[in-house]
Structure 1
Amino acid sequence: MPAQVSGLSRYPIKGLSYEPLNSAALQAGRGVSGDRAFALALPATVFDERNPQPLSKFEFMVLARQEALARLNTSYDGSTGLLSVIDGTERLSANVHCAEGRAAIAAFFARFLPEDQKSSKPRLVTAANHCFTDVGVHSSELMNAISVLNLASVRDLEARIGERLDPRRFRANVLVEGLDPWVENEWLNHELMLGAVRCRGMRLTRRCPATEVNPDSATRDINVPRELMRFFGHIHLGIYLTVIEGGVLRIGDTVAAAS
C-alpha cells in the first residue's frame, strides 16, 4: 500500500485541543486555514494585534509550561466566533469577537497560570495573517508551514522505550501512514506531493517538553526529547513543509516524492 494521509487537524487556539478535519484547502505559502489563529498571551506579554510580531511560544500559555491545559476539551466555531471549553463539570461558552466574551475567557484561563501570575489574567489575542506557530520566530515562511508526522517513526520510538505514544502529543497537522521510519528526515529541501499539493521540506521538528504531557491524563509521564536523544542522538520527530502549489488535501491521499 502506498504511503497516505491518515489524519488531518488544526489547532485554532495555541496550546488547546485539536479539531479533526476530513480535508484542508491549502494555498501556496500558507498553512492550514485557522491553525494557531489565536493564542492566550501571558499577563506580561506585549503583543500588538495591529502590528503583530512573532514571539517565543513561552510568551503564551502552552503545554510546555501549563500541562494542565491538556485536560481541557475545547472547540471553536469560526463562523460564529464561539469558543467552548469543558473541564470536567465546568463549562465555558464565550464569543471571541466581543469584549464580554474575551473577559470570560481570560477569567477562565487565569487559574492555569503559575501562582506568581494569578493576580493578573491572560489575554486572548489574534491578528490578521498571523499564525502562532512555534517556529514562526524563524521566518514568515515557517510561520505558515504545515507540520507532518510520520507515524512509523512514532512507532519506532515506542518500540525502543516500551511505551505507547499517542500521536496527539505531537500536535501535527498531517499524519502519514505507510512510510519507512525516519524517512521524513531526508525530505529537507526536497519536494514531495501530498495528494495534489506540492510541498518542500523546510525544517525538522525539534521536540520540546510539551510532548512529555499525556493528552489523556494531563500529566508529564514520558520525557520524549530525552528518549529521542538517548536512542537516536537528536530530538527531531516530524517535519515542517511549505506549500509550493496548493490544492485540497484529503484523508487517504497518497504521499510520494515529487516527479
Structure 2
Amino acid sequence: MAHVAEIWRHPIKSHGREALRDVLLQAGECLPHDRHWAVAHEAAKVVEGQWAPCANFSRGSKAPLLMALSASFDADANMVTLTHPQRPDLTINPDRAEDNARFIEWITPLCRPERAAPDRIVKADRGMTDTDFPSVSLINLASHKAVENHLNQELSPLRWRANLQLAGLEAWQERTWIGKTVRVGAAELEIREETTRCLATTANPRTGDRDADTLGALRQGWGHQEFGVYGYVAKPGIVRVDSPVEVIA
C-alpha cells in the first residue's frame, strides 16, 4: 500500500531539516513551520512579511555546503538549533536581532565568497516555499530509486528536500497526479505542479560535497528536470509516518 515513509520540515529555508513523526496540515497553508524563515542575501529584493521567489535567498544551489545542515525547532521557545559537520552547533531565535547577527556570522563561512553574501533572516505570512502558493512537497521513493539505478550510486532522499517521502508507489507514478486530489492520512492535497530541480540536489546532504549528477540523470534518463510534486492542502488533517496515500479525484 502507498504510504508516508518520512515527514520532514525545514524551519529556515535551505538551512537544515528535521524529521517529524506526525503533523497537522491546515487548509491553504504550508506544512507548519516549514520554510518559516529564509536567509535574504545582500542583493535581495524582498518586502518584509511577504513571500518572495527563491532567487532572493541563500540556498543550496549556490552554496552546496548548506545542504549538510540539520535543524531542530522548539516551537514553544521559538528557537532553532543548527548543526553542520564544519561548524559548532548554534541555537538562535530567528526573530531576535542579536541572534540574527550571530547567525550571519556563523553561516558565512559555509557560503561561497563569489556569491551574494547572506545578509539577514526574513519571514513572511506563509512559508517561503519555491511556489507562489502555500505548498507541501512530495517525492516518490520509487522514482528516487530509479535515479539511483541510473547513476549506479546510492543517494539520500534528503537531496530532494521534500516534506513527505512516499513509499509503495510505482516509479514516476506521482507525475500522473497533476490536477488530481490525493488523500494523505486525514488530509487532502490538490497536486498542482511538478518540482523542477536545481543544483542543490547534486550535493551530498551529509557532507555538502557535489558528488552526484542528479540533473544529468533526470535529463538523460527521462528527458526532463522534474522530480516530485507540489500539493495544496484542500482539506486539513493529521498526517503520520505510515499514513496511507491514495488518489481520490
TM-score by length of 2: 0.93
With over 3 angstroms needed to count, the CA separation of the structure-2 counterparts of 1:53 and 1:171, relative to structure 1, is closer
CA contact (8 A) 2:187 2:239 kept: yes
Q: Tell me if 1:152 matches 2:142.
A: yes
Determine the structure 2 residue equivalent to 1:39.
38
Q: What is the CA–CA distance in structure 1 between the aligned matches of 2:182 and 2:80, rounded to whole Å?
A: 36
CA contact (8 A) 1:10 1:35 kept: yes
Displaced runs of 4 or more, over 4 A: none
Determine the structure 2 residue equivalent to 1:6.
5
Sequence identity of aligned pairs in percent? 28
Determine the structure 2 residue equivalent to 1:236.
226
CA contact (8 A) 2:67 2:200 kept: no
Determine the structure 1 residue equivalent to 2:97.
99
Determine the structure 2 residue equivalent to 1:125.
122
Aligned mate of 1:90, from 88, 95, 112: 88
CA contact (8 A) 1:14 1:132 kept: yes
Q: What is the CA–CA distance in structure 2 between the aligned matches of 1:257 and 1:89, rounded to whole Å?
A: 43
Q: What is the CA–CA distance in structure 2 between the aligned matches of 1:184 and 1:232, rounded to whole Å?
A: 14
Determine the structure 2 residue equivalent to 1:17.
16
Q: What is the CA–CA distance in structure 2 between the aligned matches of 1:49 and 1:94, rounded to whole Å?
A: 20
Q: What is the CA–CA distance in structure 2 between the aligned matches of 1:208 and 1:121, rounded to whole Å?
A: 19
Could you report, residue by residue, the CA deviation over 1:82-111 in whole angstroms, capped at 9, with x for unpaired residues?
222234462322222322111111221222
With over 3 angstroms needed to count, the CA separation of the structure-2 counterparts of 1:204 and 1:101, relative to structure 1, is same
CA contact (8 A) 2:48 2:122 kept: yes
Determine the structure 1 residue equivalent to 2:215.
225
Counterpart of 1:131 in structure 2: which amino acid? G
Q: What is the CA–CA distance in structure 1 between the aligned matches of 2:78 and 2:122, rounded to whole Å?
A: 13
CA contact (8 A) 1:204 1:238 kept: yes
Q: What is the CA–CA distance in structure 2 between the aligned matches of 1:37 and 1:81, rounded to whole Å?
A: 11
With over 3 angstroms needed to count, the CA separation of the structure-2 counterparts of 1:229 and 1:80, relative to structure 1, is same
Q: What is the CA–CA distance in structure 2 between the aligned matches of 1:209 and 1:116, rounded to whole Å?
A: 17
Counterpart of 2:42 in structure 1: which amino acid? P
CA contact (8 A) 1:43 1:117 kept: no
TM-score by length of 1: 0.89
Q: Tell me if 1:173 matches 2:163.
A: yes
Q: Give the superposed CA RMSD.
A: 1.8
Aligned mate of 1:65, from 62, 66, 69: 62
Pairs within 5 Å for 1:73-84: 73-84=70-81
Q: What is the CA–CA distance in structure 1 between the aligned matches of 2:115 and 2:140, rounded to whole Å?
A: 38
Pairs within 5 Å for 1:202-213: 202-213=192-203
Q: How far did 1:121 drift?
A: 5.0
With over 3 angstroms needed to count, the CA separation of the structure-2 counterparts of 1:244 and 1:86, relative to structure 1, is closer
Counterpart of 1:229 in structure 2: which amino acid? R
Q: What is the CA–CA distance in structure 1 between the aligned matches of 2:172 and 2:87, rounded to whole Å?
A: 41
Q: How far did 1:117 drift?
A: 6.1
CA contact (8 A) 2:11 2:80 kept: no
Q: What is the CA–CA distance in structure 2 between the aligned matches of 1:199 and 1:71, rounded to whole Å?
A: 29
